[in-house]
Amino acid sequence: MGRFINIFASVCLVLVGMTLQSCSAEDNNMVDTNPAKEVKSVNIEKKWIAAHFNFTPECDRVSKEAYQKSSIEISLKNGTFTAVDQYSLKQSKGVYVLEGNRLTMKSDRGNTFIYKIVELNQRDAVVEAIGDKNILSIELVSFE
């Protein structure tokens, strides 16, 4: 009986040691798969999808519903942009200028949209809308 207890205790000690070593190895191998990026053209030029909108208190219910039903894809490349609302299939094209963390987009229809890039990562971004009567901020995601 004493021999069985010694063997059982040894096996338990080995298993506990392996478990602790395994946890320790996992902790050391954690890699941030979505690190913060510097705000510059090379890091924003890709296809973005507007995932979430934060609205101003003045935004009416009809406008909120239209934004929430939309799936807006925005492609930025070489100083130009294309935005497509996948719900209504409306498309807008134009040029953009990035100055620091301020993104100014001018559509070919004469509309100007100004955003402040608050957070930029490999796969997501948060932008504040400047001077927009409906939108406070937009959360963007990218799968590129």
Residue 3 pLDDT class (50, 70, 90 cuts): very low
Rounded Cα distance between 51 and 37, Å, is 19
Residue 11 phi/psi, 5-degree rounding, is -65, -45
Distance set, CA 37 to CA 77, 102, 106, 141 (Å) = 17, 15, 24, 14
Element (H, E) at 9: helix 2-28
User: pTM to 2 decimals?
Assistant: 0.73
Is residue 11's pLDDT more than 70? no
- Of residues 19 and 124, more confidence is placed in 124
Is residue 120's pLDDT more than 50? yes
Rounded Cα distance between 19 and 31, Å, is 21
Rounded Cα distance between 107 and 105, Å, is 6
> Highest-confidence range of 32-36, 87-91, 119-123, by mean pLDDT?
119-123
Segment 45-104, tens digit of pLDDT: 999 999 999 999 999 999 999 888 888 999 999 999 999 998 888 999 999 999 999 999
